[in-house]
Chains A and B, each alone.
Chain A
Amino acid sequence: MTRTPGSATRMATAPPSSRHLKRYGRTERALHWVHATAFCILLGSGLCMYLPSLAEIVNRRPLLKSIHLYTALSWAIALLLILILGDRRSLRATLREVEYFDSDDRYWLLGQRSPQGRLNAGQKLNTILTAVFAILFAISGFFLWYGERDTRFQIPNALLLHDWLMYASLMLFLGHLYLALILPKTRHSLNGITRGWVRADWAAGRHAKWVEALEASEEEPR
């Protein structure tokens, strides 16, 4: 990797101050990681039941079923606990952020450069899709589980929906991993969701409206 021009530039334009901005609070991060952990376990155990080749290798279907079911239950309980014990005010603010798209967001989604808030339009969309997928997974999963116990609740479409959600969320997940771990200009955002803060100079480039709003409200970083 000969990226000398890039790194030289970065060296030259070192941040005016090494200020850090708090991007995600503890509640948001807990929510993210509970969701991420559950998703990975559910995906893994689910694929081991779903793909014939993996099913043959792993070959412990009843165990996988239990892992899948209890992970889903723990996930739901953990989310509830976060909602009860967490910082609900910050969650409401985040919810508002995600719900509203302004003209800059719309330009951004159309592929044009436009200043973004703390969450850019793509991140908002990702949050919305993730929430929708989670609810639909839970509903279709319930029917899969209960339908086996009472055939009146056996809805064949629940299985199809569960499958389609898996494909869709797997795509979303891979894209998310690419942006968070690999793509150089976006991967610093991983810091935000692990430690809570991001570099101010990075944020000023990618989330200009957020940084402006922070500076306007008060100079003092929390």
Chain B
Amino acid sequence: MDAPDPSSKPYGRLAFLGLLGGGISSLAWASRVSGVVSPFTSAISQLVGNLLPVGGWRIYTISGSMPIFYPNSYALQIDGLVRTPRSFSYEELRALPRAHQVSTFHCVTGWTVHDVRWSGIRFKHLLDLVEPLPSAAALRFVSLEVPYTDSLTMDQVRLHDVMLALDMDGQPLSRPHGSPARVVIPEMYGYKGVKWLTRIELVAEQPTGYWEGRGYDQDAWVGHSNGYGST
């Protein structure tokens, strides 16, 4: 076995070490490459729809199964520190004045979806309907997916492109994307955008949400939180 063939070279070892080194170093440069190729991959992703999330969505859930929303029994409750607590059926929600926007969705785990078309209701409008008390400082969002909750301050929900989305890319939200309603705040990482929303409670102090209880930042500004851009 050891008979050394003069033409025999340890290329295999070199290839192994080279590939391994390249792979490990990609932990430093992968996102830059992905940024360059993502216009192409997300174009492919649009073509094949939900089948292949190349440069597209990933669905994260925390419980055993995704909530199912039943249009007839669904209600979005808005209560807490408000003058007139209200409950909206799905039909009522859909009848409210709509806003439309195209924005980029960032996940804290590193993936991004560009140019998502959202349609929904601005929080300003929603809040006007329930008349928050002066003591209300934050909105606590409760998901049908128990025990997922998160919150935003009154100032944050009044940013110009924050909404309660009902449609995505021209279609009513699908089950994986949080049907029938989800919070969209493009300035922050996705975990702040509660899906399968069933209740908004106005509170005096911003509570700790599901991921915040696990070490994530309360203010999840894209590029300036959760360890990003902190150096």
Using CB atoms and an 8 Å cutoff, list the residues of chain A in contact with chain B.
49-53, 55-56, 59-63, 93, 96, 98-104, 106, 124-125, 128-129, 131-132, 135-136, 139-140, 143-144, 147-152, 154-161, 164-165
B99 at the interface (CB under 8 A from A): no
B24 at the interface (CB under 8 A from A): yes
- With A154-B227, A160-B34 known, 16 other A-B pairs at CB within 8 A are A49-B58, A51-B50, A52-B58, A55-B176, A60-B65, A99-B13, A102-B9, A106-B11, A131-B16, A132-B23, A150-B215, A151-B227, A157-B26, A158-B27, A159-B109, A160-B30
Q: How far is the CA of A151 from the CA of B191 in the complex (A)?
A: 14
How close is B13's CB to chain A, nearest CB, in angstroms?
A: 4
Q: How far is the CA of A16 from the CA of B121 in the complex (A)?
A: 81
The 9 closest A-B pairs by CB, nearest first: A156-B110, A103-B7, A157-B30, A160-B30, A99-B12, A136-B23, A102-B8, A101-B11, A132-B19
Q: How far is the CA of A102 from the CA of B6 in the complex (A)?
A: 8
- B5, B10, B24: the one contacting A99 at CB < 8 Å is B10
Using CB atoms and an 8 Å cutoff, list the residues of chain B in contact with chain A.
1, 5, 7-13, 15-16, 19-20, 23-24, 26-31, 34, 50-53, 56-66, 108-111, 174-176, 214-217, 226-227
Q: How far is the CA of A158 from the CA of B25 in the complex (A)?
A: 11
- B20, B51, B216: the one contacting A51 at CB < 8 Å is B51
- B7, B23, B28, B60: the one contacting A61 at CB < 8 Å is B60
| Residues of A with C-beta under 8 A to B62 | 61-62
A125 adjacent to B15 (CB under 8 Å): yes
B51 adjacent to A53 (CB under 8 Å): yes
A158 adjacent to B110 (CB under 8 Å): yes
Q: Does more than half of chain B's interface fall in helix, strand or loop, or is it mixed?
A: loop
| Residues of A with C-beta under 8 A to B57 | 52
A154 adjacent to B23 (CB under 8 Å): no
- B9, B111, B227: the one contacting A100 at CB < 8 Å is B9
B31 adjacent to A156 (CB under 8 Å): yes
| Residues of B with C-beta under 8 A to A152 | 227
A160 adjacent to B110 (CB under 8 Å): yes
B226 adjacent to A62 (CB under 8 Å): no
Q: How far is the CA of A28 from the CA of B40 in the complex (A)?
A: 41
B59 adjacent to A55 (CB under 8 Å): yes
- B11, B20, B26, B109: the one contacting A154 at CB < 8 Å is B109
A100 adjacent to B109 (CB under 8 Å): no
Closest chain A residue to B174, Cβ basis:
A56
Closest chain A residue to B18, Cβ basis:
A132
Closest chain A residue to B66, Cβ basis:
A59
- B24, B50, B63: the one contacting A53 at CB < 8 Å is B50
B58 adjacent to A50 (CB under 8 Å): yes
Known: A151-B215, A161-B30. A93 touches B51 (CB 8 A): no
Q: How far is the CA of A155 from the CA of B26 in the complex (A)?
A: 11
> Which of A49, A55, A98 is the most central at the interface, judged by chain B CB atoms within 10 Å of its CB?
A55
| Residues of B with C-beta under 8 A to A154 | 108-109, 226-227
| Residues of B with C-beta under 8 A to A104 | 7
> Which of B10, B19, B23 is the most central at the interface, judged by chain A CB atoms within 10 Å of its CB?
B23
Known: A154-B108, A156-B109, A160-B31. A100 touches B11 (CB 8 A): yes
- B10, B23, B175, B217: the one contacting A161 at CB < 8 Å is B23
A136 adjacent to B5 (CB under 8 Å): no
How close is A63's CB to chain B, nearest CB, in angstroms?
A: 7
- B20, B111, B227: the one contacting A135 at CB < 8 Å is B20
| Residues of A with C-beta under 8 A to B215 | 149-151
